A and B are shown apart, each in its own frame.
Chain A
Amino acid sequence: MLFNSFNFVALVLITLALYYTPALRRWQVPILIASSFTFYAANLPVLLLLLIFSIAINIGTSYVVMHGNPAKRKAYATFGVVLNLAVLAFFKYAFLFGGMFFSAESTVGQFLLSIPLPVGISFFTFQGISLVVDTYKSKDVEEYKSLVPKSMLQHSFNTSFFISFFPQLVAGPIVKAHDFIPQIKPKFFKEINWEVAFRIIVLGFFLKMVVADNMKDHTFWISFPEFQARSTMTLLIMLFGYSMQIFADFAGYSLIAIGLARLFGYVLFDNFNFPYISRTFSEFWRRWHISLSTFLKEYLYIAMGGNRKGDLRTYLNLMITMFLGGLWHGAAWSYAIWGSFHGIALAVERFSSKYIKVPRNAFWDTLRILMVFTFITLAWLLFKLPEFSHVVEFFNSLFNNTERKTGFKIIVFVLLYSIPVVLYHVYYLYWNKKGEGENKLAWIEPYLYGGMLFFIITNAGSAQEFIYFQF
């Protein structure tokens, strides 16, 4: 069920109406669970069983970690994490790894091919892992003890809600148990911050429906073999456009999820913080898909030792974290390569920062932003062309198609649809420099949001699933 579908709007309105009915207040959590299950089952109902199974694993393991035999806490927690990863590995990576040993035509290969890829499995599995690990950490962190109440019924409702909450169920943001579960309590209609929710939702739908959904029809020609007929200039502009598109698609979705959660009284943290103004790769990963990068940092990088075991080990930890982070995005080696590129960039940056001090001024900052943006944009090619041989072909076309006719129409529209993303980042730079109190452009905001709403109504592209649905 897409966020920009009439079915979804109907689901949200009905859920809101029931949710805030005073007589039903004590049923708020079950109402959201029911809506979330309805949302998830809309695509392929049988996969709801998988979601329920995943929830059950996490209810059971987190409960025994908290309230079971203290001597076996670590074993229970390890079991819970391994079970979560096993489910993810089976549904998502079985064919990738099985394909190394079995051909697609064999019986085993055919079976592996037939395994469906449940929407959102990467997201809700990680949330389950977060619950199990946070529960284990409660031995050292006092406030985590309240994550798992003694009542199994209460715990089941909380966990089902936490994992299945529909705004972020299928494409994030990845929410950590210690950030979400403490928020579970009765919510009141009068507590809704309508202005904040309005801003976030309108911006989200604008980025998704106007920028991303339109841009995709112009960057379509980056696919193989279409790109072979395009000129160098057209390919470069389309690649730039794809960078804008992937940001608008994913940030748009995240904003819609965050805004919707606000309507129900829940605060989800920002998932994107103007990533394309990053001067370094480490800054990029503090601004892009923040929920994933903080999850990987907290539950993987730091668990492996982080930067506490010497330089070489730090670089290795970075590489492994980014390799696995890349592979999380999809069951194809191109994603692992993408992650590795970022891992190498982070490691090299960390190493070189010890010896090279870049001055902080407008010139150097701009140069660094452009360099980081260029690298990131080139790396996005691995998302658009999962077959690595096609990536090589793309670069071949990029270097050799200088004599081909330039597609001015594509260029005009890619640049037009890129303007909002560029202005969005520029506005942030201006606002950040001036500080909130000195933001002399604040008066323009209602008209900006009104304009965005106008374009959502009159200039939406054809609906397409969010790019990150495939993860």
Chain B
Amino acid sequence: MIKKALFTTLILLIAHFTLVEMFAPTYQTGQHLWQDNVIKAQNYLYETPEPQGVVIGSSLSARLDEELLPAGFHNLALGGLGVHDGLKVIRAHGKLPNIVCAELNLVTRPPSKDFDNTVFSPVMNPVRRLIPSFREKHQPIGIIGNGIMNLKGGKQDKKADAPLGPTDAERGKSDAAFQAILDKAVKNNQEAWDQALLDEWIAKLKADVSWLQEQGVEVVFFEMPISELSCDLPKLGSVRTAMEEAFSGSGVRFLPRPDCGQYRTTDGAHLNPASANAFSRWLTSHLQQDAAQ
């Protein structure tokens, strides 16, 4: 019985390996946010031989459209995680990009041990590098489930050229549930970050940034726009001030503050698809402008 079972496993593994090599699905196979992060990291580590530029950050910048970023750029922003996780992935790659664009909104978010253990497992990391069928995006249930989703036709329309729609404040007036979400977001942004916490995480970030600069990588910080109702509140302001002070004279660039009134959010923080595309273009134009200068 055991021999038959083990033989069955071997046949299935070979079949899976072969099918992945020949017919790897072109659609997204991540089952949930966590897995999307791991897939993103693994794609970067194993399938990106020459990264030109990388965006790192949280779920805020994860909404940026990679196709609208400068050529050769990868969006390594990770939902629920932050710049510190992104930096680890960059360092683990082996070939550094020319430029790293880091979101500054949530620099105090600590790196995730679970993400570390999964992506940088000392046993599975080399196995996945060698055998693509062991990578997260080739999990059979992920392929099947997302295949079912594709049949349903649930893929979101990018609405690249869709009008932005009403501002968050205007929308909140006619949608009580959305207003409640905005109120919560405003409340969360009322207080500045604790200075000691900011200092701690910015110091760690500085160490990583210095290392990148020593390797010839250009580092650019940018601020993701959020709801216009929260944009000028103390929380975001305290991060920006602390970051600009800490990195003053270090050769790091800060892109100008975006005009939050030009963007719309889904929940007071995350940009809706049209706004995310608009900001992707804004980011690209500023990066290209600065490069030309």
Binding site for B on A (CB under 8 A): 6, 194-195, 198-199, 202, 214, 217-218, 220, 229, 408-410, 412-413, 416-417, 445-447, 449-451, 453-455, 457-459, 462-464
Contacts and interface: CB of A to CB of B under 8 A. Distances in A.
B160 interface: no
B24 interface: no
A408 B155 CA distance: 11
A212 B232 CA distance: 43
A458 B5 contact: no
Contacts, number: 97
B16 A409 contact: no
A451 B12 contact: yes
Q: Which of A199, A417, A446 has the most CB of B within 10 A?
A: A446
A214 B12 contact: no
Contact of A447 (B4, B13, B123, B144): B4
B157 interface: no
B148 interface: yes
B291 interface: no
- Ranked nearest first, the 5 interchain pairs of A and B with the lowest CB-CB distance are A450-B8, A446-B4, A454-B12, A449-B5, A450-B5
A458 B117 contact: no
Interface stretch (B70-78, B133-141, B166-174, B271-279): B133-141
22 contacts: A194-B2, A198-B2, A214-B141, A218-B32, A408-B152, A409-B145, A413-B31, A416-B141, A445-B1, A451-B12, A453-B5, A453-B9, A454-B12, A454-B13, A455-B141, A457-B134, A458-B16, A458-B134, A458-B138, A458-B140, A463-B114, A463-B118
Contacts of A199: 1
A319 B123 CA distance: 50
Contacts of A451: 8-9, 12
B139 A458 contact: yes
Interface string B19-53: 00000000000011111001000000000000000
A203 to B, nearest CB: 11
Nearest to B30: A409
Nearest to B181: A229
B6 A458 contact: no
B7 interface: yes
Chain B contact-residue range equals: 35 or more
A446 B9 CA distance: 10
B117 A463 contact: yes
Interface of B is mostly: helix
Given A449-B5, A450-B6, 13 more contacts: A195-B1, A198-B5, A217-B33, A408-B149, A408-B154, A413-B32, A446-B4, A446-B5, A449-B1, A458-B133, A459-B142, A462-B35, A463-B117
A464 B117 CA distance: 11
Contacts of B144: 416
A188 B50 CA distance: 56
Contacts of A449: 1, 5, 8
B70 to A, nearest CB: 31
A217 B8 CA distance: 29
Nearest to A462: B118
A446 B1 CA distance: 6
Nearest to B4: A446
Contact of A413 (B7, B12, B145): B145
A458 B13 contact: yes
Contacts of B123: 6
B153 to A, nearest CB: 11
Contacts of B8: 446-447, 449-451, 453-454
Contacts of A413: 31-32, 141, 145
